[in-house]
């Protein structure tokens, strides 16, 4: 039986500036089950990033309800949202968002320090996450010493180190060439096969095909959902 990990019902988002209302999301009904890989696609300005920001507790809906792992989150205060975000959600951003004057190891360790974990536990998690993305040998390097593809792998490792319930990826290939983009997509597919729940925003249909299901947005509404058939793994 499928387990709903993320569930939105009638979610809306309205931005008000200078007495102008912009309806970014309208009546969103969305369920992502544990172990699923979902792509959110659509043209620029359709609400993809707004939807991902609400899913990741970086923003709050104007209306409707949102449950993460069975917990209604729209009414939580900022401290509670930050705590859940740190423990339940792993973010992968288009621009990597690595700190240039920290080593790879320190970049991955930093979010773990807010949990009060021991140095030994942090080390174990950092090294394991780097092993999973094939970047353990770059542990002492700094982000500017790495290629774009390598930096995105480090960003994935940072998201994994917290053992989150879900990985949220916002255009994870947007700053990469096609070869590095495909390598990152292969990495995400491998993580999904290992049990990770992934929700990815992308405008590129080539990358959306890696997901089990594609949710298509247009003008802040879900207009279609497609299921992708993947060939069985080679024996």
Q: Where residue 166 sits, what CATH number does that domain have?
A: 3.40.50.300
9 within some domain = no
18 within some domain = no
Spatial CA neighbour of 183 closest among 203, 204, 153: 153
pLDDT-above-70 percentage for the chain: 96
Kindly report the pTM of this predicted structure.
0.88
Contact 6, 199 (CB under 8 A): yes
Q: Which 3 state secondary structure label does DSSP give 209?
A: coil
232 pLDDT higher than 50: no
122 within some domain = yes
Average pLDDT value over all residues in the chain: 90
CA-CA-CA-CA torsion sign (179, 228, 88, 190) = negative
Q: What is the mean pLDDT of residues 193-216?
A: 92
User: pLDDT tier at 230 (50, 70, 90 boundaries)?
Assistant: low
The set of residues, in sequence order, having a beta carbon less than 8 Å from that of 184 and lying 6+ positions away, is 149, 152, 153, 156, 172, 173, 176
For residue 29, what pLDDT is reported?
96
CA of residue 197 relative to chain centroid, distance: 9
User: pLDDT tier at 229 (50, 70, 90 boundaries)?
Assistant: low
Polymer length of the chain: 235
54 pLDDT higher than 80: yes
233 pLDDT higher than 50: no
Question: Which is it for strands 166-170 and 89-92: parallel, antiparallel or unpaired?
Answer: parallel
Express each pLDDT in 117-175 by its tens digit. Answer: 899 999 999 999 999 999 999 999 999 999 999 999 999 999 999 889 999 999 998 88
Half-sphere exposure (Cβ direction) of 6: Cα atoms closer than 13 Å: 25
Q: Which 3 state secondary structure label does DSSP give 151?
A: helix
Q: Which of 50-54, 67-71, 77-81, 225-229 has the lowest mean pLDDT?
A: 225-229
How many folded domains does the chain comprise?
Answer: 1
For residue 34, what pLDDT is reported?
94
Half-sphere exposure (Cβ direction) of 44: Cα atoms closer than 13 Å: 1
108 pLDDT higher than 80: yes
Q: What is the mean pLDDT of residues 39-60?
A: 92
The set of residues, in sequence order, having a beta carbon less than 8 Å from that of 33 and lying 6+ positions away, is 2, 3, 4, 5, 197
10 within some domain = no
Give me 22's structure tokens.
């912009």
198 within some domain = yes
User: pLDDT tier at 234 (50, 70, 90 boundaries)?
Assistant: very low
235 within some domain = no
Contact 57, 68 (CB under 8 A): yes
231 pLDDT higher than 70: no
7 within some domain = no
Q: What is the mean pLDDT of residues 49-63?
A: 92
DSSP class of residue 69 equals T
22 within some domain = no
Of the segments 69-78, 137-146, 187-196, which one has the largest average pLDDT value? 137-146
Its domain, for residue 173, covers 35-60+75-227
């Amino acid at each position: 039986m499928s387990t709903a990990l993320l569930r939105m019902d009638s979610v809306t988002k309205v931005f008000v500036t200078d007495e102008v209302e912009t309806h970014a999301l309208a009546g969103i009904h969305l369920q992502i089950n544990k172990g699923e890989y979902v792509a959110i696609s659509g043209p620029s300005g359709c609400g993809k990033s707004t939807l991902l920001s609400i899913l990741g507790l970086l923003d709050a809906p104007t209306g409707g309800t949102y449950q993460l792992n069975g917990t209604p989150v729209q009414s939580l205060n900022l401290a509670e949202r930050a705590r859940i975000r740190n423990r339940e959600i792993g973010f992968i951003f288009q621009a990597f968002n690595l700190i240039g004057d920290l080593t790879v190891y320190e970049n991955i360790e930093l979010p773990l320090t807010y949990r009060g974990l021991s140095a030994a536990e942090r080390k174990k998690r950092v090294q394991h996450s780097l092993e999973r993305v094939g970047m353990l040998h770059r542990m002492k390097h700094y982000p500017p010493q790495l290629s774009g593809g390598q930096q995105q792998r480090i960003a994935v490792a940072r998201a994994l180190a917290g053992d989150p319930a879900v990985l949220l990826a916002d255009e994870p290939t947007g700053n990469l060439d096609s070869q590095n983009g495909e390598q990152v997509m292969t990495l995400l597919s491998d993580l999904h096969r290992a049990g990770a729940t992934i929700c990815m925003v992308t405008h590129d249909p080539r990358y959306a095909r890696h997901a089990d299901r594609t949710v298509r947005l247009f003008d802040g509404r879900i207009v279609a959902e497609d299921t992708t058939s993947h060939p069985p793994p080679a024996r």
